[in-house]
Amino acid sequence: QLQESGPGLVRPSETLSLTCSVFGGSISGSTYYWGWVRRLPGKGLEWIASIPYSGSTYYNPSLRSRVTIFLDTSKNQFSLQLSSMTAADSALYYCLITGRTDSYYGMEVWGQGTTVTVSS
C-alpha cells in the first residue's frame, strides 16, 4: 500500500513537497519503479516522474526543470518536489508503482491521492 502526505495548500512560486510512504514491502532492493502521476482538473492524467531502487530518475520533459524525485530508504518513503508552483499545478497527486525493472504489469499500485491547491 502507498500513502501520500503533504500540504493541501501551496502559495504561488513556492515549492511543493510530497511524500509517499510504502507499507507492506521495502523500497530497498525492490524491482519496482516508484513514481508520481497527477490528475489535472479537466485535463486527465499526467505522468510526472519515476525512480527505481537504483536511483536513476525519469522525468516528464514538460516538468523536468522544476521537478525532483528521490528515495528515502531509511524511512521506506519516496518524495516529489515541484518548484515554482502556479495555479496550473493545482491537481490531485498520486504516488504509485509505475512498473518493474524485470517485467511489466502496468501501473499496478496507486495511493489514494492528495489534493494540492495553489493559491495565495
Partner 1 sequence: DIVLTQSPLFLSVTPGEPASISCRSSQSLLHSNGNKCLDWYLQRPGQSPQVLIYLGSNRASGVPDRFSGSGSGSYFTLKISRVEAEDVGTYYCMQALQTPRTFGQGTKVEIK
Report in angstroms how near the CB of residue 106 gets to partner 1 at its nearest: 3
| CB closer to partner 1 out of 14 and 100 | 100
Q: Mark residues 45-64: x for contact with partner 1 by CB under 8 A, - for none.
A: xxx--x-------xxxxx--
Interaction between residue 40 and partner 1 (CB under 8 A): no
Of the residues 55, 108, 117, 119, which one makes contact with partner 1 according to CB under 8 A:
108
Q: Over the range 6-42, which residues count as b (16 or more CB within 10 Å of their CB) and which as e?
A: beeebeeeeebebbbbbeeeebeebebbbbbbbeeee
Query: Which residues make up the interface to partner 1 (CB under 8 A)?
Result: 37, 44-47, 50, 58-62, 94, 98-99, 104-108, 110-113
